[in-house]
Amino acid sequence: MSAAEVVFDYFEDHTRSADSVRHSRPVALGLLCFAAGGVSVFMAQAVAGTLAPFSFSLLSLTLLVLWQVVLGLAFTAMLHLVMEFEGIQGSAASLFALMGLADLVWCLAVPLTLVLRLAVPNRPWLMTVAFIGVGLLSLGYKARSIQDNYQVSAARAWITLFVPYVAVVVAVLLVFTVAVVGLVKQFIQWVS
C-alpha cells in the first residue's frame, strides 16, 4: 500500500489503515506527517498574526518543524511507555506513524485561517476558535490511533492520551513552586 493510500485510509477507513501501518511501520511517513503538521501550524499562525516571538523566516520555520517532530517523538515515547507499564503490547513505530498522521489534521488550519481572515477580518477570536477546533480534532484522531494501535477501548485511549499533558502540567507546577520557594528563601535571607 502506498503512502498516499495509507493517508487516505487513515481518514476514510482507519482500521484498514491501522492494519497497514502495523505491518509496514512507515516511520518515514510519520516523520513527514509531523513535519507537514509543523509547517501547517507555522503558516496558519503567520496568517493569523500570532507567530510572535518567531518571525516569518526559514529559520523560524525550521525551528518550529524540528520542535514539532521532536515533540511528536517524545509524545509517542511517553504514550508507549504508559501502555507498556499497563502491560498492553503494541508497536511504538506504528504509534509514531499514526500520531504523525493525526498531526496532518493541522493542514486544515491553513485554509481555515485564510478563509477566516478573508471573510471576518475583524474577529481575531474566531481564529483562536479555529485553532482550538483543529487541535481538538487532532487530539481525537490521536486517541483513535492509540485505540487502533493497542486495541484498547476509547475511554482508555483518551485517558492514556492525557497522561503526558498532565505530566507536563505537574512538572510546570512543580518548577513554579520550587521557584517561588527559592524566591521566598532568598527574600527572607536578604531581610535577615
Partner 1 sequence: MDLAGPQPQPPEHPPEHHVAGTRRVKRRLMFAVIGLYALSLAAAAVVAIRAPVGQKGKKDGEESLLGLSSKETVGWVSIHGVIYNDGVRAWDKGAYQWARRIRMMAETKGVKAIILDINSPGGSVGAVQELYSQIRRVRKEFNIPIVALFGDVAASGGYYIASACDRIVAHPGTLTGSIGVIFSVDNVEGLFSKIGFKTEPIKSGPHKDIGSWSRAMTKEERDILQGIISDAYEQFLTAISTGRNMPMDKIRPLADGRIYTGNQALDAGMVDALGDSDDAVELAAKLGGIKGKPKVKREADTRQMFLDLFESRFAGAGSPADWLSRLGLRSGLEYRWAGFR
For the bound state, the minimum distance from the C-beta of residue 28 to partner 1, rounded and expressed in Å, comes to 17
C-alpha to C-alpha distance for 155 and 161, rounded to whole angstroms: 10
Q: Rank residues 107 and 157 by Cβ distance to partner 1 and give the closer one.
A: 107
Radius of gyration of the CA atoms of the chain, in A: 20
For the bound state, the minimum distance from the C-beta of residue 190 to partner 1, rounded and expressed in Å, comes to 8
C-alpha to C-alpha distance for 75 and 162, rounded to whole angstroms: 11
Q: Using CB atoms within 10 A of its CB, is residue 6 exposed (0-12), middle (13-18) or buried (19+)?
A: buried
**Selection from 177, 138, 183 nearest residue 161 by Cα:** 138
For the bound state, the minimum distance from the C-beta of residue 41 to partner 1, rounded and expressed in Å, comes to 11
Q: Rank residues 48 and 92 by Cβ distance to partner 1 and give the closer one.
A: 48
For the bound state, the minimum distance from the C-beta of residue 34 to partner 1, rounded and expressed in Å, comes to 15
Residues that bind partner 1 (CB under 8 A): 2, 4-5, 7-9, 39-40, 43-44, 46-52, 55-56, 107, 110-111, 113-114, 117-118, 121-122, 180, 183, 187, 190-191
Q: Rank residues 60 and 91 by Cβ distance to partner 1 and give the closer one.
A: 60
For the bound state, the minimum distance from the C-beta of residue 128 to partner 1, rounded and expressed in Å, comes to 13
What would the DSSP string read from start to end of 23-69?
A: HH--HHHHHHHHHHHHHHHHHHHHHHT--TTS-SSHHHHHHHHHHHH
Cβ–Cβ < 8 Å for 15, 48 = no
Q: Rank residues 112 and 143 by Cβ distance to partner 1 and give the closer one.
A: 112
Q: Rank residues 2 and 89 by Cβ distance to partner 1 and give the closer one.
A: 2
C-alpha to C-alpha distance for 18 and 12, rounded to whole angstroms: 11
